[in-house]
A and B are shown apart, each in its own frame.
Chain A
Amino acid sequence: MTRNINAGLAKFNIYNTFVNQPRAMALLLLCLSFSSILFTLTAPLMTWVLVLGSCAVMARIVGLSSTHSLPTLRTVNLLAILAVFALTWFGFSIGLLDSMINLLAVACSLKVMVVDKKRDFNLLICTCLFLIGCGFISSLSVFAWFGYTVILAFLLISTAMYHGAGISLKKNIKFVSILILQAAPIALLFFLLIPQLPPLWQMPTSKSTETGLSDKVTPGDIASLATSSELAFSATFESDDVIPAPAYRYWRAMTLEHFDGKTWSISDKRKQAEQQLAIMNKPTPLSALESSNAGTVIPYEIIVEPTQQTWLFALAPSTPDNSTNSIYVSGLFDYTLRANTPISSKKAFYLRYFPNAPISNSIGNFETQLNLDVSTNGNEKTRAWGVQLAQQYGSAQEIVMAVMTEFKNGGFRYTLSPNAMPTDPIDQFLFEERSGFCAHYAGAMVYTLRSAGVPARMVTGYQGGSSLNERVLQIRQYDAHAWVEALIDGVWLRYDPTSMVAPSRLTFGLEQALEELGESRNTNILDGLEKSAFFAAVQTWFQQLDYSWSKWVLGFDNAAQTSMLEDLLGTITPEKMRAVFLSALGLIGLILAFYFLPISKRESLPYSYRIMLKAVKLVELHTGIKREHKTLSDYRYDVSPVLNSEAAVAFDQVCELFERENYAIPDTEKHTELVMKEALNTLKKAIK
């Protein structure tokens, strides 16, 4: 930020020296845009690239006032060779996409220093435009769009300055604003009507941008998520009656069935099993659920923020509605959902929730065995407790209840900042610390149940969600949660040990729970502000805006396009599509005609002129005598023999009134307009 201000001051000082040279002005604007683009790309760009870029911009701006201070071509070539070496060196660590962006930025920076001919300038403009496109990979908010549009405008103004010999900056700004405003409706029309294609090929994704849940849980991970209030996804239901109560909003993401004593992860065995089952083409339980008529169905839509990963969140059990999804979603045998490609931008998915359907044991004995596997690596006390529980209680149900009761009454405490538990974490948690958060509780419970011979697994996802409006729930990263599923009588049942310790976590969300427990999620100076009504209103407004942006712009996909067209046209047939495209072309033609055909300026005429011209036109049409450049009295003299007496009188009246209105001393009392209009009407009648 300070860099930009400094640069700005330096620019201001020498502003006057070249404000009159259009090319220098164009270069200055280009530098300004380039530095803004660099500023927005701080995440993917490496520090040395940023430094190189800002140095190049500074050198260029100083070089505008005095020609000698620019680096020579040899220096720039040397820099280029060095940069290529550096890029190849770092390229392996930052991934393909980021190295491409870095390469572009480096090329741009080097070119900025030696921009000389028109060709160089045009190349720079194109590269900058492409960099803006790259910027959209990571920044998707409405503000990013707005900011980048402003930068685009600056680039265009700079181009206009460069090519428009000596047109003033003000005129160019006006021209470019008009151009962008004119282009916007056409672009929108393209956007709405050009078919949205599926991805043509797999693109490299940025490594650093993987966000959200990870597929491994070492207690502590979810706590780091809890400090983030970023949006994870939002869910839209058809009406507010079908939204589940807060305590039932469990968004299932993945099942973690393997435990190595410290870390819970997705079991390799399950992965293999899934692959084999997929090859065998066995129908997944979700597809079976789809075909059976299992009670109520609640369709809903989730808009997922980019995670660069494939798993999705759903109320369990939910089936994907793949006929409308732009990315194919497959259901797995543990009732979780996976997208076919990583989610690299905000995407909408359409799902159907079956609230009454159970999560059944789908692969028979395999799942039971997998989830009875107790790691013998440490945690002996817990295992012993598990064995003791198995002996004490007869049924699995009772064992589960016993564990839950223990959490409730055993003096456990909910906290987001527990002490580190490096060795035998479960033993330490259960018998010493007795304080932790969801992952600790869920981990401990699963381990205990498995020791007691009850198949159990850890499930991660999100729990809760605040309502943005009556139909929309927003789920943020701090809603990340872990809970337990136990297999009892062939059905996986959900148990949430955290609810025993902090019941408000379920019903009112994390923030409320933490408040009751005397903790806060983050220590932010804006805390006080957040509580004021005004700030809350503004925040809600922004959330609403962001949601609408996500739903209507970012989430606009093939399905939305088809449904929009269907709303307009009914069922889509090839003939109709042809008509749509023809009318789109016609519409664009119409817009262009509207912009470029000369518009008559009659609207700006005074009232008396309009009436007089109407009257003259009427008479011209009726008599066939054109007025051309005659005065009114001459024209009256010409046409009065041809008109009937009534019309002649009316026309005379119009002319006299017009004359009095426009040439005589202004008279405020008379309402000539009305009289003129009457006379015009009389004339119309008389001529007919």
Chain B
Amino acid sequence: MRKILSYPTQVIKHRLLKWLDRRVPASSEHHLNLNSIFVLPTGFGWSFILLSICLFLLGTNYQNNLMLLLSYLCLSIMLLTLFYTHQNFARFAVKALPLHSFHCNQSGELQLHVLPHVNSPNKPCHGTLTFGWFGPHRSSTQFHGTQSFTQSSDALSKTTFSIPLSGNAFNKNSQRQTLSVPVYITSRGRYMLNRLTIACDFPLGLYKCWTHLDFDQSVTVYPQPDDGPVSIEHITDNEESNSSSETSNANSNEDFYALNDYEPGQPLNRVSWKHVAKNGNWVSKSFTSRQSESYVLSIDSSIDTETAISALTLATIKLTEAEQNFGLSYKGIVVPPNKGINHMHNCLNALACFGKPESARQDSQRNGYSKIRAVK
């Protein structure tokens, strides 16, 4: 019964989303304008109008011009506030920072930078902003269609968050405000964030200005880490190390392997200072350890998939913390042994997208790489 009833609303919502896509196209940075802002009176606004009408009736019946004047004054204030509310909200400009991956059932954060609006660089937007997600986040591993809404509806979080704007003018000294909007998704996979509804009722709360913004952000939701019977196989890969070591250094137990772009957080002693001095380009050396031990994580395929993936997730995180060389092998997933933060993200990405259509998975992995670079 409920399904039958909910079907038309879903169609309407789908239409609405299509219309919004045309009207407010997805972008990581939004400067609000006439197209993207919607205004309606709030409950308070409606009661204010009702009050004005009551005062008008009272004034007419008592033939009392002062009451009429009061009623007209209230109406004029209502009218003016419409413009003030819109004017204020139209000064809001925001830019989304790339979203970090997080584990499901944990709360991720979408960070939004408040920017000076192009049209009014000196005047900021005031008031308390209310944030809420406009429906569930779309799972990008599924094709577009109505089913994506029904299936990932568990990812829907209906709660709203209120954040007051600091309202400082964008002068030289003030810090730009960063707003953190929680993202809560309950199942692993790769998601496109849904439209974020931002609303503001400044200055008098008579009107609500709101907008649905698509920040064009995708996020990989990693599986939930959990204990499980993970088997760790120890492999020795002499062959590989022999082939990879080109310059042998007898004193060092580590062999120079390759030059990579430096990433912040890598130890400074890995930096190839010669190259830095030469051309200012920061590069780090990576080495292969001849005695390095590699492990492959696997799990009995008879165990329930989700449990297995959760267990592998926990193992991956732990081994990365211990700075071990490891790989993954579970059903379709084969990740060659490696180590480091990047490797962990690769593994977690593979685990997160396991069991989703193949093409989507590759796509998501590629996106994952580019994203991690972008996060840098």
**A542 at interface by CB-CB < 8 Å:** no
Once A133-B70, A187-B73, A190-B72 are accepted as A-B contacts, the answer to whether A163 and B62 lie under 8 Å apart by CB is no
**B79 at interface by CB-CB < 8 Å:** yes
Binds B, one of A193-201, A438-446, A634-642: A193-201
> Across the interface, which residues of B come within 8 angstroms of A557, CB to CB?
63, 65
Do the beta carbons of B65 and A556 come within 8 Å of each other? Answer: yes
Bound together, the chains give a CA A261 to CA B81 distance in angstroms of 66
Once A122-B205, A164-B202, A167-B126 are accepted as A-B contacts, the answer to whether A130 and B55 lie under 8 Å apart by CB is yes
> Across the interface, which residues of B come within 8 angstroms of A556, CB to CB?
65
Instruction: Please give the distance in Å from B79's CB to the nearest CB on chain A.
Output: 7
Q: Which residue of the partner chain, among B59, B60, B204, contacts A156 with CB atoms under 8 Å? A: B204
A585-602 interface code vs B (CB 8 A; 1 in, 0 out)? 000100010011000000
Do the beta carbons of B72 and A133 come within 8 Å of each other? Answer: no
> Across the interface, which residues of B come within 8 angstroms of A474, CB to CB?
none
Once A190-B72, A191-B68 are accepted as A-B contacts, the answer to whether A133 and B55 lie under 8 Å apart by CB is yes
**A8 at interface by CB-CB < 8 Å:** no
**B57 at interface by CB-CB < 8 Å:** yes
Closest to B73 in A: A187
B52-69 interface code vs A (CB 8 A; 1 in, 0 out)? 001101111111111111
Q: Which residue of the partner chain, among A118, A119, A137, A165, contacts B64 with CB atoms under 8 Å? A: A137
Instruction: Please give the distance in Å from A584's CB to the nearest CB on chain B.
Output: 12
A142-160 interface code vs B (CB 8 A; 1 in, 0 out)? 0011001100100010011
Once A122-B43, A163-B205 are accepted as A-B contacts, the answer to whether A133 and B58 lie under 8 Å apart by CB is yes
Closest to A145 in B: B66
> Across the interface, which residues of A come within 8 angstroms of B204, CB to CB?
156, 159-160, 163
Instruction: Please give the distance in Å from B167's CB to the nearest CB on chain A.
Output: 7
**Contacts of A577-620 to chain B: CB distance below 8 A:** 588, 592, 595-596
State how many residues of chain B have any CB contact under 8 Å with chain A. Answer: 46
Q: Which residue of the partner chain, among A118, A190, A200, A202, contacts B76 with CB atoms under 8 Å? A: A190
Q: Which residue of the partner chain, among B43, B48, B61, B72, contacts A191 with CB atoms under 8 Å? A: B72
Once A163-B205, A164-B126, A167-B126 are accepted as A-B contacts, the answer to whether A122 and B76 lie under 8 Å apart by CB is no
Q: Which residue of the partner chain, among B66, B76, B81, contacts A136 with CB atoms under 8 Å? A: B66
**A344 at interface by CB-CB < 8 Å:** yes
**B161 at interface by CB-CB < 8 Å:** no
Q: Which residue of the partner chain, among B76, B87, B128, B202, contacts A187 with CB atoms under 8 Å? A: B76
Do the beta carbons of A182 and B80 come within 8 Å of each other? Answer: yes
> Across the interface, which residues of A come within 8 angstroms of B55, CB to CB?
129-130, 133
A87-126 interface code vs B (CB 8 A; 1 in, 0 out)? 0000000000000000000000000000000110011011
> Across the interface, which residues of B come within 8 angstroms of A183, CB to CB?
73, 76-77, 79-80
Bound together, the chains give a CA A293 to CA B70 distance in angstroms of 45
Bound together, the chains give a CA A186 to CA B73 distance in angstroms of 8
Q: Which residue of the partner chain, among A130, A175, A179, A327, contacts B51 with CB atoms under 8 Å? A: A130
> Across the interface, which residues of B come within 8 angstroms of A596, CB to CB?
83, 87
Instruction: Please give the distance in Å from A98's CB to the nearest CB on chain B.
Output: 14
Once A163-B127, A167-B167, A194-B72 are accepted as A-B contacts, the answer to whether A200 and B66 lie under 8 Å apart by CB is no
Do the beta carbons of A203 and B44 come within 8 Å of each other? Answer: no
Do the beta carbons of B80 and A184 come within 8 Å of each other? Answer: no
Do the beta carbons of A118 and B205 come within 8 Å of each other? Answer: yes
> Across the interface, which residues of A come within 8 angstroms of B63, CB to CB?
199, 326-327, 344-345, 347, 557
Do the beta carbons of A184 and B73 come within 8 Å of each other? Answer: yes
Closest to B163 in A: A165
> Across the interface, which residues of B come within 8 angstroms of A148, CB to CB?
70
Closest to A159 in B: B204
**Contacts of B191-227 to chain A: CB distance below 8 A:** 201-205
A-B contact count (CB 8 A): 155
Do the beta carbons of A199 and B72 come within 8 Å of each other? Answer: no
Closest to A136 in B: B66
Bound together, the chains give a CA A144 to CA B68 distance in angstroms of 15
Instruction: Please give the distance in Å from B253's CB to the nearest CB on chain A.
Output: 60
Do the beta carbons of A126 and B51 come within 8 Å of each other? Answer: yes
Once A164-B203, A165-B127 are accepted as A-B contacts, the answer to whether A136 and B67 lie under 8 Å apart by CB is yes
Do the beta carbons of A191 and B64 come within 8 Å of each other? Answer: no
**A71 at interface by CB-CB < 8 Å:** no
> Across the interface, which residues of B come within 8 angstroms of A180, CB to CB?
73, 77
Once A164-B203, A187-B69 are accepted as A-B contacts, the answer to whether A126 and B126 lie under 8 Å apart by CB is no
Most A CB contacts (10 A, CB to CB) among B57, B66, B81 go to B66
**B75 at interface by CB-CB < 8 Å:** yes
> Across the interface, which residues of A come within 8 angstroms of B39, CB to CB?
none
> Across the interface, which residues of B come within 8 angstroms of A129, CB to CB?
51, 55, 70, 74
B122-166 interface code vs A (CB 8 A; 1 in, 0 out)? 000011100000000000000000000000000000000000111
Instruction: Please give the distance in Å from B70's CB to the nearest CB on chain A.
Output: 6
Bound together, the chains give a CA A596 to CA B119 distance in angstroms of 14
**A140 at interface by CB-CB < 8 Å:** yes
**B256 at interface by CB-CB < 8 Å:** no
Closest to B166 in A: A166
**A553 at interface by CB-CB < 8 Å:** yes
> Across the interface, which residues of A come within 8 angstroms of B74, CB to CB?
129
**B282 at interface by CB-CB < 8 Å:** no
**B84 at interface by CB-CB < 8 Å:** yes
Bound together, the chains give a CA A180 to CA B70 distance in angstroms of 11
Most A CB contacts (10 A, CB to CB) among B47, B76, B165, B167 go to B76
**A61 at interface by CB-CB < 8 Å:** no
**A651 at interface by CB-CB < 8 Å:** no
B319-357 interface code vs A (CB 8 A; 1 in, 0 out)? 000000000000000000000000000000000000000
Q: Which residue of the partner chain, among B48, B83, B166, B201, contacts A592 with CB atoms under 8 Å? A: B83
Instruction: Please give the distance in Å from A176's CB to the nearest CB on chain B.
Output: 9
Q: Which residue of the partner chain, among A137, A163, A555, A595, contacts B83 with CB atoms under 8 Å? A: A595
Do the beta carbons of A122 and B64 come within 8 Å of each other? Answer: no
Bound together, the chains give a CA A375 to CA B71 distance in angstroms of 54
Instruction: Please give the distance in Å from B288's CB to the nearest CB on chain A.
Output: 56
Instruction: Please give the distance in Å from B141's CB to the nearest CB on chain A.
Output: 39
> Across the interface, which residues of B come within 8 angstroms of A588, CB to CB?
79
Q: Which residue of the partner chain, among A126, A133, A187, A188, contacts B48 with CB atoms under 8 Å? A: A126
Instruction: Please give the distance in Å from B114's CB to the nearest CB on chain A.
Output: 13
Q: Which residue of the partner chain, among A162, A194, A595, contacts B205 with CB atoms under 8 Å? A: A162
**A687 at interface by CB-CB < 8 Å:** no
Bound together, the chains give a CA A650 to CA B164 distance in angstroms of 56
Closest to B63 in A: A345
A441-455 interface code vs B (CB 8 A; 1 in, 0 out)? 000000000000000
Do the beta carbons of A179 and B64 come within 8 Å of each other? Answer: no
Do the beta carbons of B62 and A344 come within 8 Å of each other? Answer: yes
Give 22 CB contacts A-B under 8 Å.
A122-B205, A123-B47, A126-B51, A129-B70, A133-B54, A133-B58, A133-B67, A136-B59, A163-B202, A179-B77, A179-B81, A183-B77, A183-B79, A184-B73, A184-B76, A187-B76, A190-B72, A191-B69, A345-B66, A347-B63, A556-B65, A557-B65
A residues near B, CB below 8 A?
A: 118-119, 122-123, 125-126, 129-130, 132-134, 136-137, 140, 144-145, 148-149, 152, 156, 159-160, 162-167, 175, 179-180, 182-184, 186-188, 190-191, 194, 196-203, 326-327, 344-345, 347, 553-557, 588, 592, 595-596
Taking A122-B44, A163-B128, A179-B81 as given, write out 14 further A-B residue pairs in contact, using a Cβ cutoff of 8 Å, ordered by the A residue number: A129-B74, A132-B70, A133-B67, A136-B59, A136-B70, A180-B77, A183-B79, A190-B72, A190-B76, A198-B60, A199-B61, A345-B66, A554-B66, A595-B80
